[in-house]
């Protein structure tokens, strides 16, 4: 009986830690980093998948970013404790299974380990992740309480680990930035919808988000503008860059985003905003998985760039 209780307690603590560090989000980021490295950032070699998967430097960079992201979720969870009690009571109760003291210890350990692993690659990589860790803390501590600035920063922080991979491959092109811009806009939309979803907790804890400061109608108008803006990089990627069968993802996701707008203007409850948030997460997930649809012989770089009208 005692062993059963101990097993349940251990399992609960594991689930609590997994919830605090958002393990599912980290897994998606790792998958996205590797797929991007193989199909977007890498070379044109037919064996690029093997060379990427056996690249020790890339593994260390991705591992370092995963640790930094996990620590970022821990510190974000610490600052959001009060508002999560209102917005996410079940998750908040699960997170409490790990004491704040333990979370802090793990937070500092993960930060140290992240920079130390990055140092094995280069001092520049270590410096990059040290700055990234600082920005994650500064966002949680200050920036997320400000309207627009918080959304811009949160979306940028999701993209920064991919910049580390970009620096590793030294492969810069307009196609890569078009992909990044499209993803950034989707992330910005998701952050804005999260603000609508978390309105009660943000208002109670004086978080000056867009819906708290300017109202839900202004927030919805901004989201509508961002949705329409996503059509530009989607059109550019389909028309000017060789993205293979991934073009169908951009067609479908653009259609879903336009339908999303209709439901957005009809939404008024936390549950409805939550459903819209889930839809955006699915669009991001399908976007990650659809990277493999890029033609194996086509890598977006300066030499394979196709701009027929110039």
- In terms of Cα–Cα distance, which of 3, 96, 42, 61 is closest to 296? 42
CB 75 within 8 Å of CB 43: no
Query: Looking at residues 69-81, what average pLDDT do you find?
Result: 87
Query: Looking at residues 4-33, what average pLDDT do you find?
Result: 79
- Angle, CA of 161, 164 and 167, to the nearest 5°: 155
Least confident segment among 46-60, 111-125, 290-304: 290-304
Architecture of domain 14-172: Orthogonal Bundle (1.10)
* Alpha-carbon distances of 29 from 34, 93, 162, rounded to whole Å: 9, 26, 9
d(CA 233, CA 166): 19
pLDDT digits (tens, 9 = 90+) for 186-202: 999 999 999 999 888 88
CB 140 within 8 Å of CB 76: yes
Query: Looking at residues 137-154, what average pLDDT do you find?
Result: 89
Contact residues for 240 (Cβ-Cβ < 8 A; gap 6+): 305, 306, 307, 308
Percentage of the chain surpassing pLDDT 90? 47
All structural domains of the chain with their residue ranges: 14-172, 174-298
- Phi and psi for 198 in degrees, rounded to 5? -100, 20
- In terms of Cα–Cα distance, which of 67, 165, 76 is closest to 116? 67
pLDDT-based confidence at residue 113 (cuts at 50, 70, 90): very high
Query: Looking at residues 152-162, what average pLDDT do you find?
Result: 91
**pLDDT at 205 (0 to 100):** 81
CB 143 within 8 Å of CB 136: no
d(CA 73, CA 61): 18
d(CA 279, CA 287): 12
Least confident segment among 56-60, 98-102, 261-265, 288-292: 98-102
CA 6 to chain centre: 35
**pLDDT at 82 (0 to 100):** 78
pLDDT-based confidence at residue 37 (cuts at 50, 70, 90): confident
Least confident segment among 118-132, 266-280, 282-296: 282-296
CB 128 within 8 Å of CB 147: no
CB 71 within 8 Å of CB 114: yes
CB 68 within 8 Å of CB 110: yes
Spell out the alpha helix ranges (H) of 170-269: 174-197, 199-204, 210-214, 216-240, 247-266
**pLDDT at 303 (0 to 100):** 35
Helices and strands of the chain, counted as H and E runs: 15, 0
**pLDDT at 48 (0 to 100):** 63
Average pLDDT, the chain: 84
Query: Looking at residues 94-112, what average pLDDT do you find?
Result: 84
**pLDDT at 11 (0 to 100):** 77
**pLDDT at 9 (0 to 100):** 72
């Amino acid at each position: 009986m005692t062993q059963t209780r101990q097993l349940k307690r251990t399992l609960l603590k594991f689930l609590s830690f997994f919830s605090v560090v958002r393990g599912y989000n980290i897994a998606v980021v790792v998958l996205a980093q590797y797929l991007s490295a193989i199909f977007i950032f890498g070379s044109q070699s037919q064996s690029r998948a093997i060379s990427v998967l056996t690249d020790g430097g890339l593994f260390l960079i991705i591992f370092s970013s995963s640790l930094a992201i996990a620590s970022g979720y821990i510190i974000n969870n610490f600052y959001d404790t009060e508002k999560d009690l209102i917005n996410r009571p079940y998750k908040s109760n699960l997170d409490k299974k790990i004491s704040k003291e333990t979370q802090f210890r793990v937070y500092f350990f993960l930060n140290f380990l992240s920079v130390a692993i990055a140092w094995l690659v280069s001092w520049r990589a270590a410096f990059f992740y040290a700055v990234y860790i600082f920005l994650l803390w500064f966002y949680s501590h200050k920036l997320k309480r400000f309207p627009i600035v918080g959304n811009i920063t949160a979306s940028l922080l999701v993209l920064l680990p991919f910049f580390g991979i970009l620096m590793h491959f030294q492969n810069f092109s307009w196609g890569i930035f078009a992909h990044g811009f499209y993803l950034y806009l989707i992330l910005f939309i998701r952050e804005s919808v999260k603000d609508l979803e978390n309105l009660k907790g943000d208002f109670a804890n004086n978080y000056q988000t867009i819906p708290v400061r300017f109202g839900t109608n202004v927030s919805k108008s901004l989201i509508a503008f961002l949705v329409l803006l996503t059509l530009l990089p989607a059109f550019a990627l389909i028309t000017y860059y060789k993205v293979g069968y991934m073009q169908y993802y951009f067609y479908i996701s653009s259609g879903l985003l336009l339908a999303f707008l209709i439901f957005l203007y009809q939404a008024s409850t936390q549950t409805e905003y939550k459903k819209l948030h889930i839809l955006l997460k699915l669009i991001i997930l399908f976007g990650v998985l659809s990277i493999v649809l890029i033609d194996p012989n086509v890598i977006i770089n300066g030499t394979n760039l196709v701009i027929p009208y110039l």
